[in-house]
Amino acid sequence: MRSVRAALHELDEERLVRLVAKGDRAAFEELYRRTSPWMVVRLRRRCGDEQIVAEVMQETYLAVWRAAGAFAGTAVGGTATGWLWTIAARRLVDAFRRRAHHAEPPPAAAPPDRAPAAEELALAETVGGDVGDALRRLAPELRQVLQAMVLDGLSVRETAVLLGLPEGTVKTRARRARIEMRRSLA
């Protein structure tokens, strides 16, 4: 058993996903061991509700187990970790939509002042000073793209999938965001 684990430890994430597609439970366990710590951190940066984060983690890895055969990998310019994050991000959006659909307060009960979102608070803690101020002044659609690409390290394609936008729109928004950031910081 130890030699199997040692062999799996030497494989990259893409190869592990390929083994998971063939039903290899040990490869799945190794993939989970490697990727779940950073996945939880990324999800917590986007959502402060631990219950939602736990649900999204479970749904993500269940989807990975079931759909590993659909992973296209480097053949289409993707990475295994990018693929995992895309699945998790989609599950997180689905969780937010479910929650909003089931727990929408009546318009009269909505508070008059908007409280900062968990993501905004996390962003304030992560990026401070003039850069943080300039980032917070960006339009939300520009900030989302810049955050996904720069802070989360996603590619244009991964950002497009995460935000449900065409790649061209992501590129345009990223360019506009960078131009506005330069102006703000000049």
Structure tokens at 37: 């710590």
Categorize the per-residue pLDDT at 118 as very low, low, confident or very high, splitting at 50, 70 and 90.
Answer: very low
CA 95 to chain centre: 13
Query: Which band of pLDDT confidence, cut at 50, 70 and 90, is reported for residue 38?
Result: very high
Report the predicted TM-score, pTM, of the whole model to 2 decimal places. 0.54
Q: Per-residue pLDDT tens for 60-98?
A: 999 999 999 888 776 767 788 889 998 999 998 888 888
**Looking up tokens 């040990």, which residue turns up?**
26
Residues in the chain: 186
Percentage of the chain beyond pLDDT 70 is 77
**What is the distance between the alpha carbons of residues 80 and 82, in angstroms, rounded to a whole number?**
5
For residues 151-165, average pLDDT: 80
Q: Does the pLDDT value for residue 121 go beyond 50?
A: no
